[in-house]
């Protein structure tokens, strides 16, 4: 069993990104909009702020109250669209109830949509037309398996979870590499039936330890995207301790996909910055 060490790989990516912007006075800028005060959202934002600081990038946080008007969020985004010092804009998800997530995300200009959630970038991804940006978690998954030389062409791959943020874009990236993809979700009648016959599992449904030892075959490759909390501990969607010995490769949680997601956010923000400098 080989651990897919996202922390190690993300650190290597961060070092390379440092070299790309080192010595430039006009450093890349990332803006994050947070609505409300979810503890997990604040924790994720602090992790992003930390990596920005390590890279020497500008970081701006706009923290709005949960009862703010949606128009205020949209005004903030439009101002950031026109701000030449900001190269990437993200809205921390999930939003509190009552906000129109799609409308808010589509207000971000596609050229600054470094989370890859704008309908133009999403549409280009699904049509295989080279989107400017790809959702960071799926992109991080692909970069991680690439580093370890895992070729998905011809593999039977099961993706558990069909969100617009992870599962759906991930399935498209895998299909574009000629994997045979099975999508499973809350309405799947017999998850075990699908996971037992698959060569590779990406679990991104957010259900702690849903993937058990008797659900996977010997030699399976598992990428666990899940972040769940049990008794104050972070665990994935996979029952890691009982499943790991059947795997050829598996990600730990934490330390697997999470750091790769942040690394991809920084990579795409710097990509946006470099594109602006070329104009």
Q: How far apart are CA 168 and CA 22, in angstroms?
A: 36
Per the CB < 8 A criterion, the answer to whether 77 and 62 are in contact is no
Q: Per residue in 82-118, is it b (16+ CB within 10 Å) or e — as a string? A: eeeebbbbbbbbebeeebeeeebbbbbbbbbbbbbbb
**Catalytic sites, residue numbers:** 48, 92, 115
Per the CB < 8 A criterion, the answer to whether 215 and 171 are in contact is no
Q: What is the DSSP string of 32-44?
A: EEEES--HHHHHH
How far, CA to CA in Å, does 254 sit from each of 51, 85, 128, 167? 17, 33, 31, 19
- Length of the chain equals 279
Sequence-separated (6 or more) residues with CB below 8 Å from residue 127: none
Per the CB < 8 A criterion, the answer to whether 192 and 215 are in contact is yes
């Amino acid at each position: 069993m080989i651990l897919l060490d996202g922390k190690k790989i993300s650190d290597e990516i961060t070092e390379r990104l440092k070299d790309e912007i080192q010595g430039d006075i006009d450093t890349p800028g990332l803006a994050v909009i947070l609505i409300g005060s979810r503890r997990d959202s604040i924790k994720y934002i602090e992790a992003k702020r930390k990596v920005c600081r390590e890279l020497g990038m500008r970081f701006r946080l706009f923290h709005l109250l949960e009862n703010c008007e949606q128009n205020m969020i949209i005004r903030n985004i439009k101002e950031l669209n026109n701000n030449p010092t900001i190269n990437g804009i993200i809205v921390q998800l999930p939003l509190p109830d009552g906000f129109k997530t799609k409308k808010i995300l589509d207000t971000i200009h596609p050229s600054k949509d470094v989370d890859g959630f704008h309908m133009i970038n999403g549409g280009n991804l699904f049509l295989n037309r080279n989107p400017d940006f790809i959702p960071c978690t799926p992109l991080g998954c692909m970069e991680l398996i690439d580093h370890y030389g895992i070729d998905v062409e011809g593999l039977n791959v099961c993706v558990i979870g069909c969100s617009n943020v992870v599962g759906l874009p991930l399935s498209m990236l895998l299909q574009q590499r000629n994997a045979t993809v099975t999508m499973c979700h809350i309405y799947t009648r017999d998850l075990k039936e699908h996971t037992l016959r698959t060569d590779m599992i990406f679990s991104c449904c957010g259900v702690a330890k849903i993937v058990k030892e008797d659900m996977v075959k010997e030699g399976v490759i598992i990428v666990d995207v899940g972040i769940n909390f049990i008794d104050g501990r972070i665990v994935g969607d996979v029952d890691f301790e009982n499943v790991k010995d059947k795997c050829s490769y598996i990600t730990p949680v934490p330390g697997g996909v999470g750091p790769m997601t942040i690394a991809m956010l920084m990579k795409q923000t710097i990509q946006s910055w470099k594109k602006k400098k070329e104009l």
